[in-house]
Structure formats: structure tokens, C-alpha cells
Structure 1
Amino acid sequence: MSAPDRLGSYTYVEETKEELPWADLVTLDLAKFSTPEGRKELASFLIKALREKGFFYVKNFNISQEAVNRQFALGRQFYELPLEEKLKYVPEGLDQGQFNGYVPAGRRVYNPETGLRDRVEIYNMPKFNGDFKHNHPKIIQDNLPEIEAFARSLHSEVLDPLHTLLAIALELPEDYFTNIHKYDVKSEDHLRYMKYSKYTPEENASIGNLWVRGHTDLGSFTLLFRQPVAALQIRDPITQEWWWVKPQDATLTVNACDMLSFLTAGYVKSTIHRVVAPPKDQQHVDRLGLLYFSR
């Protein structure tokens, strides 16, 4: 007997109305991937994006908005659980680098004078290939088949095409990167539900409006599903200026990571990015993120 569907609908908050310095990013239309000519065109756009900005958008990736909405609804319901329930799923070796499961907020002190700590909560889901065993809360456990199908679709519909396009751009065999990023091969890929709880304007001011310092990501690509609370900024590799990343309808935001930069001897940029306090008209809401890290 199937589990009852308790996810319900998911309503996104309104986008900011403030005029911000938005990054000018390339959008890859994967609807063109089905033809050799389309793949050649996309490969040229991709390598330009990876060389210049390290961030880009993807659209028409064959995953329904309803499927995405359900994952956001699942993340919302998980974070509505009592803290004592969520703490049951903290990995035993969290301080030694284990990250699958629940990572509670408050592990970093943002302001030593006031004791203000981070308000970032994370729930990481490893690959569904049997390599990482982990218990899950009921809301996750009841929806594991759907989560697995969603995670696998990110590989088949997004990552495999991107890895193919990258190989074409670098004049490598088309399956070069897909062969080392197969879903059923052991790796530290993970799906992440991530919540940034809001601060007061005074608290934001006390930490310089900075929620997560500038950093790069491990792995090959990070996929970030659209959520309308503006907070992500990228640093231009040339000018060192910070630019806001605009939430675009029906797109994924993608960034190249350290491993791709390593594999290409720095030819591909692993761009520094950070998370800052949202614009004033969005500072009253929490920020829920849905991400996938390909490693």
C-alpha cells in the first residue's frame, strides 16, 4: 500500500522589486541538444560561460515544474519538524567530515561580540546506489522512490548533457566526462535541501550582511533550482566585482566546481560565490534552497 501524499502544494515568495546589479549569464537551451548542430552550438556557449563567468543558466531540461515544486514542498515539511526530531539524523561523524543527513544551524559564530551564529540548516541525500546507508525521517522515508527518481533524472536530463557538451567543447570523446560521472558508480554526489532562516535588519548589519563567505564548490557541477529570494552573488574573475544572480523562471542555475577546474588545468573557472542578506523587501522571509552537487 502506497504512503499517503502529505506534501501538498508549494508557494514561492515574490521576487524582489529592487534594482540590483544582476550578473549577465548565458542560458543554455537543452531543447537543442538532440541534434549534432545543436550540441555544437551549445558546446560553444557552455565553454564561453565556463571560461568567463563559471556560472550559467539551463532551461528546457525535461524535468517538470511540478516535480521540482514537490521537492521544495518536501524540504519545507522536513524543516517544519521539531528540532529534537531533526537532530536524530545528524551523522555520527559530522565533525570528521561526514555530511549525509541533517546538519544543524549554529555551527559557525558570525559575530564573536554578540555570539550571533549562522542559521543555515542542511539535509543531504546521497546517491541511491547502496554505497551510503542512512536513516531518514518519515517525511523523507515515505517519499524515497520519488526522491530517487528525481535525483536520477538530474543525471540523465541535466548532468549527462552538460558533461557531453563539455567534452565536445574540449575536443574530447563525447563520453569522456559521462564515463567518470555515472550515477551508479560510488561518489559523493548528493541532493540537498537547504534552509537559511532570516535575521533582523539589525542582525544583518552586525555581520556586514554576509551569510556565507566567498567560496568555491568541490566536484564538477552544482545545480541550483530557482528560488526567488535573492541572496547569491558571484565574483567576476576579471574585475573582482560582486554581481547578484537573478532567479530566472523555469531554469537551473549551474556553476562549475573545483574538480572541473583541476581536470582542465584551470581552463574552466571555479568561480568564487557567496550568500548575502536578501534585499530589504525579502528580508522578512526564510530562504529554502534545492541543490544537487555532482562529484
Structure 2
Amino acid sequence: MPVAVPELGTFNHVPETKEQLDWAELVTVDLSQLGTPEGKRQQADILISAVREKGFFYVKNFNISQERVDRQFAMGKSFYELPLEEKSKYTPQGLDQGQFNGYVPAGRRFIDQENKIKDKIEIYNIPKFNGDFTHNHPAVITERLAEVEEFARALHTEVLDPLFVLLAIALELPEDYFTKIHQYPVKSEDHLRYMKYSRYPPEINSQLKNWTGGHTDLGSFTLLFRQPVAALQIRYPSTNEWKWVKPQDATITVNACDALQFLTAGYVKSTVHRVTVPPKDQQHVDRLGLLYFSRPHNDIKLVTIQDSPVLKREGYTENEFEKSGNPVPTMEEFTFAKQKWQRTKSSAVNKEHATATILPGFKEQVYA
């Protein structure tokens, strides 16, 4: 007889830190202002300034209730409460070759080689619901799969599409320029993610510099729902200073990623960020994240956009691949090359791995 799936119940976020941290000064894009050309222009200016100067920004008034968001956090929490044996049934074959949908267990990397401390990061990725992907999930998710799909699709219509319109306006392109290459029905490697950073005991935290090193995301925009456990930091491109990202009520934190940097030849910056050791008053709790990773269609070549008057005026006409004379990859080729690098079982502090060539013409680098 099948075991009944328990009710999700209410998800309670932990209190914010009381420590005084060096918070980043980030702007907010207000999606309620897009009803007029003037409002769109104003918000487009805010967005382009953010993705050029800081890389991260907040979005508010995105028409998705906190109740719906908390339901997703509750699903993530329920998933991570399953026994490891059950979760491991959903680990994809070919994880070391770059496959990433499903469960990625913790402990695949040393984050401190000297003290032999491994990561405590678990990931569960849910791909698009467009007929291109198989959906095989534990009952806690399968029983509510329609709700997960509705949430993922809403992120496109209510958040991503408006942001892509604003980006197009900022680059003096047709408003549908980016939405055309980020359509939900078309195959791309977008995914919703439940992500858990399990706590370390104080004596281990005292030995660690960070829980994850500095890195960039590989897609277009990453959406990060409010996470009260302070640990996310960004590196300012202008000064290389690391700043904490403050959780803001009723917002999504957004960062620009590699694909947009390639498409704009570096005009849009792929944000360098890391997850560091939380402040002491939050080190006793686990950190649960809810994220969405947006990527262009798999068949899109990551060539510099030639139709933007802004990029032409500013001299952003060639990206790394084009300058090197190497073939320019499609989004699919770049995704799986970088995912293979990310998923390789190795030390995250191994410099040879940290600076590996992802594809001819593009090397990773260390962000201290």
C-alpha cells in the first residue's frame, strides 16, 4: 500500500542576522512601472546600470504571492528531509559529464584542502515542463507537480519576460529581442532549484573562508528568492571589494550571467559572487535556497549582438570566442562544457581545476 504524502504545512523563515555587515548598495527594478513608455525607459535605465556596475539587483511587484513562494520553500524542505538513499535515486547518470537535472549530493568537493573539509551543499534541479524533459521525482514533488510547473511558468511571464524587455530597451533593440530567444516552449536548460547548505559546527566554520568560492553563473539571469541566512556576497567589478547581499522583503534578487556577457561582448557583466560563512548568530541553522536559472534556447549561438546601436557606439563588438578566432559555441555546448567543469569531483581550491579551459577561447578564473 502506498505511503501517504504528508502535508507541506507552513514554511517559517529564520530571523535575519543582527550583526552589522558591509551590505552591497543594490538598486530595485519595479515591475509595476512598466505600463507606460516612460516607466519602461526609467526601469530599463535602472536595470542596465545595475548589470554593468554591480551585477545584482532586486525586483519587486512581480505578481507572485509570498504564499506561492513559501510553498516552494516547503517543497524543498520536504525533499531534503527524505533519507539520503531515497534522494540518491534521483541523481542523474552522467553527473561527472555535466548532467545536472535531479539530485546532486553533498560532499563531492573539498572546500578546504588543507583541513580536508568537504562541501555540505545539496542541489535538486527541476527542468522545464515543455515536453523535452523527463520528469521523475519523489512523491513529495510528484504529488504537487502541477503546482511546480505553474510556478516555473509564472517566473517566465511575470519576472523574466519583463526583465528581458527592459534589457532590450536599454540596448535600443526591439522589445521582443530577448524574449524571442527565451521562450518557455523552446528547449533550453532552464531549471528551478531547491538548494540546501547544511550547517557546520562552529569549530569547522572557524577554519573556513567560504562555503563556495567566487564564480559566475552560466545563463542569462538567475532569480534568487529571499534567503534570510546571510551568506551571499558579490564582488564589485569596479573595486573588487566583496559585499554582503541583504535579504529584502517581497523581492527577488537577480544577477546577470555568462550568456548575457557573451551576447553583449562584456557590456553586461556576469556577476562574480560566492557563498561565505554566515554570521555567528545564524550558523546554527541550515540555509535553504529557492532559485531559477534562465538560459537562452539551446541552439542560440553566443555571438555578439550586432543590431544594438548602444553596443556599436560603445565599441562592444567581439566577445572572448570571437577575439580568439575559436568557434563560437551554442548555448547548449557552453552549458554542458561548464556544467562538466562544475560537476567534476575535485577540490574546489585546486588551481588547475579552477582555471581550466571550458571551451577553446574561454578559461575559468579564480575570484579570490
Deviations 1:38-77 (A, max 9, x none): 1111001111111110110000000000000000000000
Q: Output aligned runs, 1:55-134, within 5 Å.
A: 55-134=56-135
Post-superposition shift, 1:23? 0.2
1:39 aligns with 2:31: no
Provide structure 2 residue ranges, at least 5 long, that are not aligned to the other structure: 296-368
Post-superposition shift, 1:260? 0.4
Q: Corresponding residue for 2:168?
A: 167
**Which of 1 and 2 has higher RCO (CA within 8 Å, sep 6+)?**
1
Q: Corresponding residue for 2:221?
A: 221
Q: Corresponding residue for 1:156?
A: 157
Post-superposition shift, 1:114? 3.8
Provide structure 1 residue ranges, at least 5 long, that are not aligned to the other structure: none
1:258 aligns with 2:277: no
Task: State how many pairs are aligned.
Answer: 292
Deviations 1:58-107 (A, max 9, x none): 00000000000000000000000011100000001111110000000000
3-state DSSP class of the match of 2:48? helix
| Rounded Cα–Cα distance in structure 2 between residues aligned with 1:111 and 1:221 | 29
| Rounded Cα–Cα distance in structure 2 between residues aligned with 1:18 and 1:122 | 28
CA contact 2:5–2:140 (8 Å) conserved in 1: no
| Rounded Cα–Cα distance in structure 1 between residues aligned with 2:25 and 2:270 | 17
1:144 aligns with 2:145: yes
Post-superposition shift, 1:5? 7.2
TM-score, normalization by structure 1? 0.97
Q: Output aligned runs, 1:194-205, within 5 Å.
A: 194-205=195-206
Post-superposition shift, 1:116? 1.8
Q: Corresponding residue for 2:238?
A: 238
Look up the equivalent residue of 2:265 and give its one-letter code: A
Post-superposition shift, 1:269? 0.8
Deviations 1:114-137 (A, max 9, x none): 432100000000000111114100
1:178 aligns with 2:183: no
In the superposition, relative to structure 1, how do residues 236 and 154 fare at CA in structure 2: closer, same or farther (>3 Å)? Answer: same
Look up the equivalent residue of 2:148 and give its one-letter code: I
Look up the equivalent residue of 2:137 and give its one-letter code: H
CA RMSD of aligned residues (A): 1.1
Post-superposition shift, 1:200? 1.4
3-state DSSP class of the match of 1:34? coil
Look up the equivalent residue of 2:79 and give its one-letter code: F
1:271 aligns with 2:271: yes
| Rounded Cα–Cα distance in structure 1 between residues aligned with 2:8 and 2:34 | 33
In the superposition, relative to structure 1, how do residues 94 and 258 fare at CA in structure 2: closer, same or farther (>3 Å)? Answer: same
Post-superposition shift, 1:227? 1.4
Look up the equivalent residue of 2:294 and give its one-letter code: S
Look up the equivalent residue of 2:222 and give its one-letter code: T
Deviations 1:161-197 (A, max 9, x none): 0000000000000000000000010000000000000
1:192 aligns with 2:157: no
CA contact 1:100–1:134 (8 Å) conserved in 2: no
Q: Corresponding residue for 2:212?
A: 212
Q: Corresponding residue for 1:30?
A: 31
| Rounded Cα–Cα distance in structure 1 between residues aligned with 2:103 and 2:144 | 17
Segments of 4+ moved more than 4 angstroms:
none
| Rounded Cα–Cα distance in structure 1 between residues aligned with 2:40 and 2:238 | 28
| Rounded Cα–Cα distance in structure 1 between residues aligned with 2:208 and 2:147 | 39
CA contact 1:101–1:134 (8 Å) conserved in 2: no
